Amino acid sequence: MIAMSRPSFSRLAFLIAAPLAALVLSGCATRKSTDGLFGLITPYRIDIVQGNALTREQVALVKPGMTRLQVRDALGTPLLVDLFHGDRWDYVFTLRRPGAELQRRSVVVLFEGETLKSIDAPELPSEREFVASISSRPDVQPRVLELTEEQRKALPPPPKRELPAAEPMGPVRLYPPLEAS
């Protein structure tokens, strides 16, 4: 007769705990990782901004016949300069923020030698439209940073400042001379 031993308590606990743990953990795989902790606590997602943010006003400053240096002064350093296409500069801008549509714009500048030949730009936003599109709070209106003429006239005149007494011109010697007189 073959003697059968009874399973030990630790082995019995393992046989019950292992399938139970697998069942509990399998429920975690069905949740999206972006939901956070039960949808209550969500992880912080940063805005990813890459490239050159060009506006309609900046591109309007660039005209055919300008030099490379003038174009760089107006638009900034290009994001892409191809070694094999030295007469082409690419200005690319992308903005990725959570919960919003990806913004992507690409402007291509072509040169003939050292002078600008053409610029290929899609419909770009104005500076105000661009600032409004990247604002994290669309309900907030941009502030006006310039006073009207009436507001300037309403300001009190600046206080008169008294100029300090004139100081002696030239260096003042605070040490004895190096050579005897």
Domain boundaries, the chain: 48-136
pLDDT at 67: 93
C-alpha separations of 110 from 74, 76, 118, 119 in Å: 15, 15, 5, 6
pLDDT at 26: 66
User: How far apart are the C-alpha atoms of 125 and 33, rounded to whole Å?
Assistant: 35
pLDDT at position 64 is: 93
Q: What is the pLDDT of residue 34?
A: 52
**Residue (of 33, 49, 64) closest to 103 by Cα position:** 49
> pLDDT tens string for the chain (181 positions)?
565 556 677 777 777 877 777 766 666 555 555 555 666 777 788 888 888 889 999 999 999 999 999 999 999 999 888 888 889 999 999 888 887 788 889 999 999 999 999 999 888 888 888 887 777 666 666 677 788 899 999 999 988 888 777 776 666 767 777 777 6
pLDDT of residue 112: 93
State which fold the 48-136 domain adopts: Beta-lactamase Inhibitory Protein; Chain:B, domain 1 (3.30.1450)
Joined together, the tokens standing for residue 174 give: 């605070």
DSSP state of 146: S
